[in-house]
A = this chain, B = another copy of it.
Amino acid sequence: MKRYVLIVAGGQGLRMGKELPKQFLPLAGRPVLMRTLECFYDWDAAADLILALPTEQEAYWQMLCRELDCRAKHRTVAGGATRFQSVANALALVEQPGLVAVHDGVRPFVTAALIEACFEEAERNGAAVPLLPMTDSLRETIGQGLSRPLDRRRFMAVQTPQVFRSEYLVRAYRQDYCETFTDDASVVEALGVGIHSVAGDRRNIKITHPLDLLLAEALLNNPS
A interface residues with partner B (beta carbon < 8 Å): 129, 131-132, 135-141, 145-152, 154-159, 179-180, 182-183, 185-186, 189, 194-197, 202-203, 206, 208-209, 211, 214-215, 217-219, 222
> Which label, helix, strand, loop or mixed, suits the secondary structure of the A interface?
mixed
Known: A147-B131, A214-B219. A185 touches B155 (CB 8 A): no
Are the CB atoms of B152 and A182 closer together than 8 Å? Answer: yes
Chain B min CB distance to A162 (Å) = 10
The count of identical subunits is 2
Query: What are 26 of the A-B contact pairs (CB < 8 Å)?
Result: A131-B141, A135-B206, A136-B157, A136-B159, A137-B182, A137-B186, A138-B155, A138-B156, A138-B157, A139-B155, A139-B156, A139-B185, A139-B195, A140-B155, A140-B156, A146-B194, A147-B195, A149-B180, A149-B185, A150-B182, A151-B182, A155-B155, A203-B211, A211-B219, A214-B219, A215-B218
CA distance A97 to B146 in the complex (A): 24
CA distance A159 to B138 in the complex (A): 9
- Of the candidates B138, B194, B218, the one whose C-beta lies within 8 Å of that of A217 is B218
Are the CB atoms of B211 and A149 closer together than 8 Å? Answer: no
Chain B min CB distance to A154 (Å) = 5
Q: A137-B183, A139-B158 are in contact. List 6 more A-B contacts (CB 8 A).
A: A131-B139, A135-B208, A147-B197, A149-B180, A149-B183, A152-B182
Note all chain B residues with C-beta closer than 8 A to A141: 131, 154-156
Residue of B nearest to A186 (CB): B149
Note all chain B residues with C-beta closer than 8 A to A138: 155-158
